């Protein structure tokens, strides 16, 4: 089971997903092309949608 937390960074192929806001039912994440990127697009999804997005992704320890 995945434990999601605010500020986690996930890598899937050449995309990085950083959890910006973690709430009980929703997640706002930033999608970037590199782990250090400041610029990126923000997306609001449900936790279920986010888990589907990162399926097969690797958690980057910071």
Question: Hey, what are 61's tokens?
Answer: 């320890």
Determine what percent of the chain is predicted with pLDDT higher than 90: 89
Query: Is the confidence at residue 1, as pLDDT, over 80?
Result: no
The per-residue pLDDT for 2 is 73
- The mean pLDDT value for 37-60 works out to 95
């Amino acid at each position: 089971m995945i434990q999601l937390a605010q500020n986690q960074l996930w890598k899937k192929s050449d995309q990085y997903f950083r959890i910006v806001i973690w709430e009980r039912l929703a997640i706002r994440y930033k999608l970037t092309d590199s782990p250090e990127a400041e610029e990126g697009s923000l997306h609001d999804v449900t936790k279920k949608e986010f888990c589907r997005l990162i399926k097969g992704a690797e958690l980057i320890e910071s």
